[in-house]
Amino acid sequence: MEKEEIKLNPAITRELGLKLLYQMILIRRFEEKSAELYTKEKIRGFLHLYIGEEAVAVGTMHSLTDEDNILSTYREHGHALARGLDPGSIMAEMYGKQEGCSMGRGGSMHLFDASKRFFGGNAIVGGHLPMAVGMALASKKQGLNNITSCFFGEGAIAEGEFHESMNLAALWGVPVLFLCENNLYGMGTALRFSHSVQDLEKKGAAYGVESAKTNGMDVLEVKNAVEKAIAYIKSTGKPYFLVCNTYRFRAHSMFDAQLYREKTEVDEWKKRDPILTFSNQLLQNELISRDDIDTIENKVSAEIQKAVDFAEAGTFEPVEDLKKFVYSP
Amino acid sequence: MIEFTMPSLGADMEDGTLVEWRVKSGDFVKRGDIIADVDTQKGLIEIEVFDEGTINELIVKEGEKVPVGTVMAIIIPVGEKVSAKKKSRIKKEPIKEMVKEGSIKVDDRLKVSPLAKKIAEEKGIDLSAIKGSGPEGSIIKKDIDLAAAKKAESHVEVTGGKKEIAAKGLRTAIASAMSKSNREIPHFYLETRIDMTKALNWLREWNKERELKDRLLAVVLLIKATAKAIKEVPSVNAFWENGLQLKNAINIGFAVSLRKGGVVIPAIPEADKKSLNQLMDLLNDLIPRARALQLRSSELSESTITISNIGEGSTDKVFGVIYPPQVAILGFGNIVEEAWAEDGKLSARPVVHVTLAADHRAIDGYLGSRFLMALKRNLQKPEAL
Amino acid sequence: MKDEEIKATILKLLQEIAPDIDPEELGMDDNIREVFGIDSFDFLQLIIGIDKEFGITTPEADYGKITTLRSLIAYVKATK
Amino acid sequence: MTDKTTLKITYREALKQGMHEALITNDKVFLMGEDVGRYGGAFAVSKGFLEEFGEDRIMDVPLSESGFVGAGIGAALAGMRPIVEVMTVNFSLLALDQIINNAATLLHMSGGQINVPVVIRMNSGIGNQLAAQHSHSWEPFYAHIPGLKIVSAGTHEDARGMLLTALESPDPVVIFEYTSLLNMESEIPSSSGAVDIDKAKIRREGKDLSIITYGPGVYKALAAAEILASSGIDVEIIDLRVLNPIDNETIINSVAKTHKVLIVEEAWRSVSISSEIISRIMENAFFSLDAPVERLCGIEVPIPYPKHLEDASIPQKQDIVDSALKMIQND
């Protein structure tokens, strides 16, 4: 890895490098702390960690604007953090506290923040795809020039709703970015056991949707690919299907013996850890120094401790409020 | 030092079996290292450590199954003191079981519609006497209206009987209270004789200056003297309901006997705060209504202590049975002329025998006698009542 | 006022005080209070009745003189 | 003085007028559904709309119920007011995941941040021998879901006015319309417009028996009432109109007056709306009951094709008359 001399394109400044690196490390440490707190029973329910896929969230969110809509899946902490949701409000949400970003009502799989146009994690595989098409449809009808980006894994591509949504989006010509995080495993089923055609990006052609794939382990490649996609959407008003090939270093969720894959495969992919590779690139191009990395690590651990303290200090909603949020007042 | 515990990997994970340690004591571990393999219902899972330090002691042995949270190893942290955070388990409230099991059982009870049952209760109609004309022979509103109408016509000969019914009801009520009292309350009895000379002389003087309708009876003096004695020994004025409960209001129950048998005990509320005239007015109101069985249930249920006073007609002494949950009953016998020895001289004096029956769970002999002595003293100074 | 009238009035008063008594039971020389179980409260009502019917306020000292029907009738005739 | 003139109109026409008024008054409103545009609507309710409002506001959609219902929900999330027409309730089963896991649930999961102001119209019920897959009555299932407001347009007045009020609601509303009523004519005030979607309605005052019903049961019960009146029986008819949340008060007051209840619905008997109404009467009006509550419901069989069997599988007017007579004569 060290030997390869990777020339960065000149557009990468020190400041951008530090920002992207900071966000990826923040996600990584946040997920590690979540795992720890889960084993200590502070976080319950399902917990799906994003470790290994940081480059996709950071690369994508960097290119989206505040007006763009985002719909995510249950493996959403990386998306939420990269989108700018406050780490404390996410941690409090996983503690089930009412100070959480969804008032404690949603938990790890259902983070919401209307102010950031973050329309939640959806725990039904592919369930949010039709909604993304609808939101883009509304933008088109109201003449807004924002786009709607929805994240999903390669497992969702086998759902009927993927087919219906791609067709509707193409048919109606609406500005939606279908962003697939292909981490090779739909829970315990490897790609080759669920898809007749494994080059997933090829599926877009069937609907006349512009499609591409990119290296989901490299934040800059993801950033460039997403910028290309957004430019296409903005200029044509048409949907775009981008497949980011990436890999999750951890189990599907906390209680998973990972019988479906070999440890050697995991170690192999770890060599392409998005944080390691990117920090090496920045170091080799003298954009940052080792100290910069230490400063980032210290700032991140302080930020995470603050988030945990915020969650610990949070309060539980009184049970009398149980029936709130079913209908509008 | 840091306790490394069996982690919880899922809400439904109860325990785990340590299959293999990846470290031995003395090894240094850093955050994220895999230090053990644990077998669970989902399969073998690598367990990571979240703290840095050297393994001091491996407590759980390989092959051992332990519940989540069990301390498996001790780690000595690097340099800085890491406060061993107390693990606060989130208390799992049991989900309230809302479902009531309905059991279908064949019900051979009287079939009455809810509406019919309600009206029957309101109009005091005995359901057992009615034949139902509703579905499955159930008694319905029409049947009740019919019965009520029949009852109205025959109102005349029924009223005479109303008292019988009431009296019969009274008898059963007294019987159950008395048997409960005997069953549960360990009675003990104290007795004394009180010279009523001063009291009766004062009474005569008092009545002389007043018109007939303002005349006082001796019993009024007895009631007021009792109330004052209670203030000195409050524990006689209490209830026993799994433990002594002192009552601050002194409501003296006044036994009114009915000529045809039975006794009704209206309460004189806060007798200690009433003047002698007020007590007399109360008796003028309560006694006739008691005899006509027209007392409201609230007037019958608030006594905190009872005075029994067998119509002064007959016996000299009366030993009462306490009315639960009260703890004492005072019995005044007839005021009779008796020999009275004092300062070596013998004379005839009007004397009343007073008995105290008390609940030994609540009061003991010493307090009982102090109460009777206070009563005796009060009756020697009638002007102060 | 003849004896018979006074007797009838007295028995009427007693009937009001104790509705469930039977006047025939009372002999002229029987102790009224004992036969009818009249307590001090009822006796006071009787005295008030006598006052209302005959205008006589019987002092407590004279209670002893009117324990039987005969003595009561005589007392009323004498005092009226 | 309100305009006293009335309008003789079919149920279909009433639906059309309601939707037309909605499209005119608010440009955020648009209609999306299968064959609503070029075909003029499977039941011709939106005939002529495409020509008048254009493709942008009258959207024909492919046969992707989950897809387009989900898209309708998404459009509602992002500022539009879509009327999503699911041709019949029978096809809505494919979109239940979107309706229940997204529309009914987003407000709660987001801790009150996200509203889903979508209106979903579905044609429902039995009639014209469409056999088992095309004759479902799913009101009880939808009425079970907290987060959805479920209304049943059993009269021309409601067919004309419910949609307008539903489009004002910040929360998702599902409107059941009925195939068997489409061609039926009735009188409604020509000034009629939006109606409330919160309360039940007493369609006929009476004192001997409360008949509680909804949907096609309303007109059948009213017809039965005329026959019963001729034999001196004065029934009160309650049109539930709102199946979730249910208007307890109107029910309880009526039971307190008549002391006897007959419930009429076309859905299958077990775990139905009548099951819920009986529970609420038992919980809140037990001591007003002078007889057990009776009910006439759909026979628990997939709806058969042949007419005589189809008719026998749901309560008809004569069944209502017979039951009422039995309940009253018994008294």
Is the pLDDT confidence value at D1 over 80?
Answer: no
Instruction: Report residue A1's pLDDT band, with 50, 70 and 90 as the boundaries.
Output: very low
Check CB contact under 8 Å for C41 and B211. Answer: no
Say if residues D289 and D224 touch (Cβ distance below 8 Å).
no
Residue A274 pLDDT: 97
Please give the mean pLDDT across all residues of chain D. Answer: 95
Chains that touch A (3 or more CB pairs under 8 A): B, D
Per-residue pLDDT at B176 exceeds 80 = no
CATH code of B141's domain = 4.10.320.10
Task: Calculate what percentage of chain B has a pLDDT beyond 70.
Answer: 82
- Chain A hits for B12, Cβ within 8 Å: 255
- CA dist., res. A217 & res. B9, Å (int): 27
- Residue A82's pLDDT is 98
B159 pLDDT more than 80:
no
Q: Is D171 on the interface with A (CB under 8 A)?
A: yes
Which of D62, D66, D71 has the CB atom closest to A137's CB atom? Answer: D71
- pLDDT band of residue B105 (cuts 50, 70, 90) is very low
User: Considering only CA atoms, which of D297, D301, D304, D214 is closest in space to residue D251?
Assistant: D214
A259-263, B23-27, B256-260, D94-98, range with the lowest pLDDT: B256-260
CB A295 within 8 A of CB D115: no
Residue B93 pLDDT > 50: no
pLDDT of residue B158 exceeding 50: no
Contact B315, B334 (CB under 8 A): yes
Inside any domain, residue B294: yes
Interchain CB contacts (distance < 8 Å): A and B:
43
Q: How confident is the model at residue B85 (pLDDT cuts 50, 70, 90)?
A: very low
Q: What whole-number distance in Å separates Cα of residue B379 and Cα of residue B373?
A: 10
Residues of C in contact with B218 (CB under 8 A): 40
* B205 lies within 8 A of chain A by CB: no
Domain that holds residue C34: 3-79
What does the alpha-carbon distance between residue B368 and residue D106 come to, in Å, rounded to a whole number? 73
Tokens of A26: 């923040």
Q: Note the pLDDT of residue B297.
A: 66
For the cut 70, the answer to whether the pLDDT of residue B209 exceeds it is: yes
B220-246 mean pLDDT:
86
Q: Check if the beta carbon of residue D155 is closer than 8 Å to that of residue D216.
A: no
Q: Which of A11-25, B99-113, B241-255, C8-22 has the highest mean pLDDT?
A: A11-25
When comparing pLDDT for B153 and D114, which is higher?
D114
Nearest C-alpha in B relative to C56:
B212
Tell me the three state secondary structure of residue B154. Answer: coil
- Min distance A261 CA to chain B CA atoms (Å): 13
Chain A residues near any Cβ of chain B (below 8 Å)? 32, 35-36, 38-42, 44-45, 251, 254-257, 259
Q: Which chains lie within 8 Å of chain D at 3 or more CB pairs, if any?
A: A, B
Give me A300's structure tokens: 């991140």
Q: What is the pLDDT of residue D149?
A: 98
Position B236 scores a pLDDT of 87
Is residue D304 over pLDDT 70? Answer: yes
User: What are the chain A neighbours of D61 within 8 Å (beta carbons)?
Assistant: 168
In a shared domain, residues B300 and B197: yes
Q: How many residues does chain B have?
A: 385
CATH architecture of D6-189: 3-Layer(aba) Sandwich (3.40)
ipTM of the complex: 0.64
Chains interfacing with C (3 or more CB pairs < 8 Å):
B
pLDDT at D294 over 50: yes
Q: So what's the pLDDT on residue D111? A: 96
- Counting the structural domains of chain C, the total is 1
Is A127 within 8 Å of D68 when comparing Cβ atoms? no
Q: Which residue has the higher pLDDT, C30 or B89?
A: C30
Rounded to an integer, what is the distance from CA D135 to the centroid of its chain? 15
Do D292 and B135 make contact, defined as CB atoms within 8 angstroms?
Answer: yes
| Together in a domain, B259 and B352 | yes
Does D331 score more than 60 pLDDT? no
pLDDT tens for D34-63 read 999 998 999 999 999 999 999 999 999 999
Q: What is the pTM of this model?
A: 0.66
For residue B214, is pLDDT > 90?
no
Among B32, B42, B89, select the one facing A255 at the smallest CB separation: B42
Strands B15-21 and B34-40: antiparallel
Task: State the residue range of the domain holding B146.
Answer: 114-155
Chain A: residue whose CA lies nearest to B87: A40
pLDDT at res. D49? 96
Q: Is the per-residue pLDDT at D122 higher than 90?
A: yes
What pLDDT score was predicted for residue C18? 79
Question: Are residues B354 and B228 both part of a single domain?
Answer: yes
Comparison of pLDDT for A256 and A116, the residue scoring more? A116
Contact call for C33 and B313, based on CB within 8 A: yes
Q: Residue D263: its pLDDT value, please?
A: 98
**Looking at residue B155, what is its pLDDT?**
53
Q: Give the model's confidence band at A6: pLDDT under 50 very low, under 70 low, under 90 confident, else very high.
A: low
Which of B7, B8, B42 is facing A257, going by the closest CB pair? Answer: B42
- pLDDT at residue A112, rounded to an integer: 96
Domain boundaries, chain D: 6-189, 201-329
Chain A residues inside the 8 Å CB shell of D102: 122, 127-128, 131
Tell me what the mean pLDDT of segment B176-189 comes to: 75
Secondary element (H or E) of residue B306: strand B305-308
Give per-residue pLDDT as tens, A127-181.
Answer: 999 999 999 999 999 999 999 999 999 999 999 999 999 999 999 999 999 999 9
Residues on chain B touching D289 (C-beta within 8 angstroms) = 113-115
**What CATH code is carried by the domain that includes residue B48?**
2.40.50.100
Please check the confidence at residue B163 and state whether its pLDDT lies above 60: no
The per-residue pLDDT for range B262-286, each reduced to its tens digit, is: 777 888 888 888 888 888 888 888 8
Average pLDDT of the segment spanning D246-267: 97
Tell whether B11 and B131 lie within a shared domain: no
Instruction: Judge whether residue D253 has pLDDT over 90.
Output: yes
Per-residue pLDDT band at B357 (split at 50, 70, 90): confident
Q: What is the total count of domains within chain B?
A: 3
pLDDT in tens, D171-216: 999 999 999 999 999 999 988 899 999 999 999 999 999 999 999 9
pLDDT over 70 at B94, yes or no: no
Structure tokens at B92: 């799992």
> What is A14-309's CATH number, 3.40.50.970, 3.40.109.10, 3.40.50.2300, 1.20.1340.10?
3.40.50.970
Q: How many Å apart are CA D190 and CA A114, to the nearest integer?
A: 43
Assess whether the region D6-189 and the region D201-329 belong to the same CATH fold: yes
The mean-pLDDT minimum among B26-40, B367-381, C7-21 falls in C7-21
- Give the mean pLDDT of C17-26: 78
CA of C55 vs chain B CAs: smallest distance (Å): 11
Query: Which amino acid appears at position B146 of this protein?
Result: L
**Shortest distance, CA A256 to any CA of chain B (angstroms):** 6
Task: Please list every residue in chain D whose beta carbon sits closer than 8 Å to the beta carbon of residue A148.
Answer: 74, 78
Domain for residue B29, yes or no? yes
Per-residue confidence (pLDDT) for residue B222, from 0 to 100:
87
**Average pLDDT, integer, range D158-163:** 98
Return the pLDDT at B95. Answer: 41
pLDDT digits (tens, 9 = 90+) for B33-49: 999 999 988 888 999 99
- The pLDDT score that the predictor gives to residue A238 is 97
The pLDDT value recorded for residue B340 is 85
Nearest-neighbour CA in chain B from A218: distance (Å): 23
Using a CB–CB cutoff of 8 Å, tell me whether D149 touches chain A. yes
A143 contact residues in D (CB cutoff 8 A)? none
pLDDT band for position B88 (50/70/90)? very low
Type and span of the H or E element at B175: helix B155-184
Answer with the residue of higher pLDDT: A78 or C24.
Answer: A78
B50 and A254 within 8 Å at the Cβ level: the answer is no
Size of interface A-D (CB pairs under 8 A): 145
- Is there a contact between C41 and B215 if contact means CB atoms under 8 Å apart? no
| D115 interfacial to chain A (CB closer than 8 Å) | yes
pLDDT band with cut points at 50, 70 and 90 for residue B99: very low
Residue B357 lies inside a defined structural domain of this protein: yes
Please, which pLDDT band fits residue B80 given cuts at 50, 70 and 90? very low
Alpha carbon of A1: minimum distance to chain D alpha carbons (Å)? 44
Q: In chain B, which residues have their Cβ closer than 8 Å to the Cβ of C20? A: 259-260
Just list the catalytic residues of D.
65, 134
- Mark whether B201 and B307 lie in a shared domain: yes
CA distance B310 to chain C (A): 9
> Could you tell me the residue ranges of all domains in chain A?
14-309
CATH number given to D201-329:
3.40.50.920
Three-state secondary structure string covering chain A: CCCCCCCCCCCCCHHHHHHHHHHHHHHHHHHHHHHHHHHCCCCCCCCCCCCCCHHHHHHHHHHCCCCCEEEEECCCHHHHHHHCCCHHHHHHHHCCCCCCCCCCCCCCCCCCEHHHCEEEEECCCCCCHHHHHHHHHHHHHCCCCCCEEEEEEHHHHHCHHHHHHHHHHHHHCCCEEEEEEECCEECCEEHHHCCCCCCHHHHHHHHCCEEEEEECCCHHHHHHHHHHHHHHHHHHCCCEEEEEECCCCCCCCCCCCCCCCCHHHHHHHHCCCHHHHHHHHHHHCCCCCHHHHHHHHHHHHHHHHHHHHHHHHCCCCCHHHCCCCCCCC
The H or E element spanning position D58 is strand D58-60
Nearest residue of D to residue A105 by CA position? D109
pLDDT at site B98: 35
Has residue D3 got a pLDDT over 70?
no
Contact by Cβ (8 Å): A35, A250: yes
Asked whether C77 and C1 are in contact (CB, 8 A), the reply is yes
Q: So what's the pLDDT on residue C14?
A: 84
pLDDT per residue as tens digits for the range A201-243: 999 999 999 999 999 999 999 999 999 999 999 999 999 999 9
